Amino acid sequence: MTREDNIYSTAKGLEKFVDHLNSQGKSTNTVVAYKGDVSQLVNYLKSISITDVSKVSSTHIENFKKNLSKDNYTAKSVSRKLNSIKNFFGFLVSEGVINDDPSREIKHPKYENDKPRVFKPIEYMALRDACRNDIRATAIVELMLQAGLRISEIANLEISEIGSNKITISAYESHEERGVPLNPSAKRALKGYIEEERYESKSKKVFVTKTGRPLLVRNIRSLLNRYFEKAEIQSGKVNDLRNTFISYQLEAGVPIDVVSKIVGHKRISTTEKYLGLIEKKEEKEEKGIKLKEL
């Protein structure tokens, strides 16, 4: 058995960590991010001949952190990678693989959190105008802007999940099933696309390519980025549409717990960060809640 095959090797430790994340129901994106971050450390350690997790010291991790900064990683990126590394070693301690956590004393670099970007009416109206002749793009924009869907939820949406006044987002990864109300604009755009554009498709997915194949996340992102450019929206990002939905609903007085549930936030604290962007109106009574139409 070689050293790399030993259960205490850094590579084997990473493998066990990834298995643990998957068993905990972490999202695919989370697992991929954690694995990538820790793999960078494992490769760095290997370059200095450290392949046994019990031999890793705080000095090694601190030097890895400094190298990231030298390689022009932002403070935010370094902090994220360090968070992955701390979770990795915390797991190894909990499993009894190592006795002490070498990352415990390593401090996160200071940085300011970027505030979520919210489109102004003139921006999302320009985007609508830019894609007015593309009913598929229009439907995607409206579902993100008027219903707060994630791009992955757009890609995975199936015909069977569309109701008369709402859509059902099926449970996936670590997200629970939820119902999302559709306002008239979203319903009209979605109906127009389904009836005119995908009538020949045999796919269960709502959004498909011209050949009838399911539209992938990267396809949707590329599509919207083209229209951001056409609408002359500087540095526009796909998730800004969802940010806009959340912000405008809170500003209109929709209770934060209702907004949080609609958009599928696991913690209400995630929704609370949007409160700093708005002048919040008095919350509506539960029976009188009506989502703001943009």
pLDDT in tens, 98-110: 999 999 999 988 8
**Strand, helix or coil for residue 211:** coil
Rounded-to-integer distance, Cα 203 and Cα 109, Å: 47
Mean pLDDT estimate for the chain: 88
Helix axes 58-70, 75-94, angle to 10 degrees: 160
105 belongs to a structural domain: no
The CATH code of the domain that includes 136 is 1.10.443.10
Task: State pLDDT tens for residues 163-208.
Answer: 989 999 998 877 889 999 999 999 999 999 988 876 567 788 999 9
Tally of structural domains, the chain: 2
Residue 25 has pLDDT above 70, yes or no: yes
Q: Which pLDDT value is given to residue 2?
A: 39
Say which CATH number the domain at 77 has: 1.10.150.130
Domain limits for position 35? 3-94
Question: Are residues 134 and 17 located together in one domain of the fold?
Answer: no
pLDDT for res 178: 93
Residues 195 and 147 in one domain: yes
pLDDT in tens, 63-83: 999 999 888 888 888 999 999
Does 73 lie in the same domain as 180?
A: no
Are 165 and 259 part of one and the same domain?
yes
User: 132 and 56 in one domain?
Assistant: no
For residue range 117-144, what is the model confidence (pLDDT) as tens digits? 899 999 999 999 999 999 999 999 999 9
Residue 153 inside a domain? The answer is yes
pTM of the model: 0.67
3-class secondary-structure state, position 194:
helix
Tokens 């793009």 sit at which residue? Answer: 137
Cα gap 46→40, rounded to integer Å: 10
Instruction: Tell whether the model's pLDDT for residue 280 goes beyond 80.
Output: no
Nearest to 47 by CA among 37, 34, 60: 60
Residue 156 and residue 230 in one domain:
yes
Q: Where are the alpha helices (DSSP H) in the chain?
A: 10-23, 28-47, 58-70, 75-94, 121-130, 135-147, 151-156, 184-196, 217-230, 239-251, 256-263, 268-272
pLDDT at 284: 56
**How does strand 178-181 pair with strand 166-169?**
antiparallel
